[in-house]
Amino acid sequence: MLNTQASLSKTRKQIESIAITNNIALSEDDSAVIIIDQTKIPNALEYKKISDLESAYEAIKKLEVRGAPAIGIFAGYTMYVLALKNRDLSYEDFYQAFESDKEYLNSSRPTAVNLSWALNRMEKVVTDNKEKGVEEILSLLKEEALKIHNEDIEMCLKICEYGLSLLKDGDGVLTHCNAGPLATSYGTAQGPFLLAKARGMNIKVFADETRPLLQGARLTSFELSRAGVDVTLICDNMASIVMKNGWINACFVGCDRIAANGDVANKIGTSGVAILAKHYGIPVYSLGPTSTIDMNCPDGDHIKIELRDPDEIKEMWYERPMAPKEVKCYNPSFDVTDHELLSGIVTEKGIVYPPFDINLKKLFDEDH
């Protein structure tokens, strides 16, 4: 049966058999968070230890760790590691230092809701247990960080199952950016492709390169080809022709924030994919955990879009500038896909179909 503990355990083993899934972890002595430095892929698979606030901020800002769920997991572990440095302080001073670290880390990237969601969970542990003393709070913080990670693993496994239920053997799927195990724990938008491969299904994936930071080229094609998935890399402006050729049966994309009405913020270029897919009659699904749904955000107009360094467009990845030095650049990291362009939102609780404003609310009403 779908999503029983036995089936999830089987799903986990199947994905682990072909994919890298240990992208974030605590060091053995709890002094650092260990990550795979995603900026080095595909040329090197390097692990990096993060043990101080500034390095943690830079790891998120520079995309050494990226992907909304992965950022949330990283934030939980980081707040625990930082809190350990203040174990000798009084509760009042401990909490003040914790709050300062939290606010600084939260400012690293504004669009993905998982960062603030995880930080708020960690802070709640501190405020709800002030009478227990700092040492016990530290133990509870570690427990909460591990819980955030383990919850994401279970959510990803369920999302992989629900996502795969939308595909059949031989389907072609277009994906944009990277939402595999590197960006999560076991994958959201790319997880079903890994699961399909492990189960002997033939899914043909077309991965957009995802300008300007090339997450599709560097990360998605790396993960999928390494796992033996049939993946073809295309430039972003080639999405229309592969759809017109009849090679695409569905589009699977991730999400960094989902508004209450179903508008989805995801990597820049996602909305263009959705518009093209609508023209060609191809269903578009956004896959992500319910922690990415922000019911306090009414629609996409209320999602703050991160603007990044213009040099990512003009100079990054090249030995010489690819545009005049003086030219202006507009470099938003995300765009918002209107809910009317989506066929469904795949969560760990099931597939949500339109009307999204009503059915997303039901997901949370069912918890009470």
Kindly state whether residues 61 and 204 are assigned to the same domain.
no
- Is residue 336 a contact partner of residue 114, using CB atoms and an 8 Å limit? no
**Whether residue 37 lies in the annotated active site:** no
What CA–CA distance (Å, rounded) separates 274 from 146?
Answer: 35
Are 199 and 317 within one domain?
Answer: yes
- Shared domain check, 189 and 326: yes
As a whole number, the mean pLDDT across the chain is 96
Dist. CA 39–CA 199, nearest whole Å: 31
The answer to whether the beta carbons of residues 256 and 291 sit under 8 Å apart is no
Average pLDDT, stretch 265-288?
A: 98
| pLDDT number for residue 318 | 78
> Stretch 188-217: mean pLDDT, rounded?
97
Least reliable range by pLDDT among 103-112, 128-137, 174-183, 299-308: 103-112
Sheet of 24-26: strands edge to edge? 24-26, 33-36, 47-50
319 confidence band (pLDDT: 50, 70, 90): confident
Predicted confidence at residue 117, as pLDDT, reads: 95
CA distance 330 to 337: 19
Q: Are 340 and 230 in a shared domain?
A: yes
Contact 279, 366 (CB under 8 A): no
CATH number of the domain bearing residue 99: 1.20.120.420
Mean pLDDT computed over 334-361: 98
pLDDT in tens, 43-67: 999 999 999 999 999 999 999 999 9
Sequence-distant (6+) residues with CB within 8 A of 102 are: 79, 119, 122, 123
Q: Are residues 319 and 183 in the same domain?
A: yes
- Whether 135 and 176 map to the same domain: the answer is no
Annotated catalytic residue, options 256, 263, 294, 335:
256
**Amino acid letter at 236?**
D
Q: Does 153 share its domain with 229?
A: no
Helix or strand run (H / E) with residue 13:
helix 5-16
- Of 254, 275, 255, give the one whose Cα is nearest residue 265: 255
**CB of 341 within 8 A of CB of 284?**
yes
The whole-number pLDDT of residue 295 equals: 95
**pLDDT surpassing 60 at residue 368:** no
- Residue 162 covered by a domain: no
Write the burial class of residue 43 (CB in 10 Å: 0-12 exposed, 13-18 middle, 19+ buried).
exposed
Which pLDDT value is given to residue 4?
86
Assign residue 204 a region: left if phi > 0, alpha if psi is -120 to 50, beta otherwise? beta
User: Tell me, what CATH number does 270's domain have?
Assistant: 3.40.50.10470
3 state DSSP class of 61: helix
In angstroms, the CA 28 to CA 252 distance is: 36
pLDDT for 2 equals 65
* Residue at which a domain ends, from 114, 129, 157: 157
What pLDDT shows up at residue 345? Answer: 98
Confidence of residue 3 (pLDDT cuts 50, 70, 90): confident
Asked if 190 and 328 sit in the same domain, the reply is yes
> Taking 60 as the threshold, does the pLDDT of residue 240 lie above it?
yes
> Looking at residues 196-202, what average pLDDT do you find?
97
- Total domains, the chain: 2
| pTM given for the model | 0.94
Same domain assignment for residues 235 and 273: yes
Alpha carbon of 363 to those of 4, 102, 359: distances in Å? 19, 28, 7
Give pLDDT, residue 151. Answer: 96
- Which of 68, 34, 14, 42 has its CA nearest to residue 334? 68
Query: Whole domain around residue 230: which residue ranges?
Result: 168-365
Is residue 163 included in any domain, yes or no?
no
SS (H, E, C) 317-345: CCCCCCCCCCCCCCCECEEEECHHHCCEE
The pLDDT value recorded for residue 367 is: 62
Residue pair 95/127 in contact by the 8 Å Cβ criterion: yes
* % of residues, the chain, pLDDT over 90: 93
Dihedral angle at the C-alpha atoms of 287, 292, 294, 295, nearest 10 degrees? Answer: 60
So what's the pLDDT on residue 214? 96
How large is the average pLDDT for residues 290-316?
Answer: 94
**pLDDT above 70: percentage of residues in the chain:** 99
Q: Do 278 and 182 fall into the same domain?
A: yes
Q: Write the CA distances from 99 to 52, 95, 121, integer angstroms.
A: 15, 6, 12
pLDDT at position 111 over 90:
no
Sheet with strand 172-176: strands edge to edge: 230-234, 204-208, 172-176, 250-253, 284-287, 344-347, 350-352
Q: What is the pLDDT of residue 320?
A: 85
Placement of tokens 């986990």 in the chain:
12
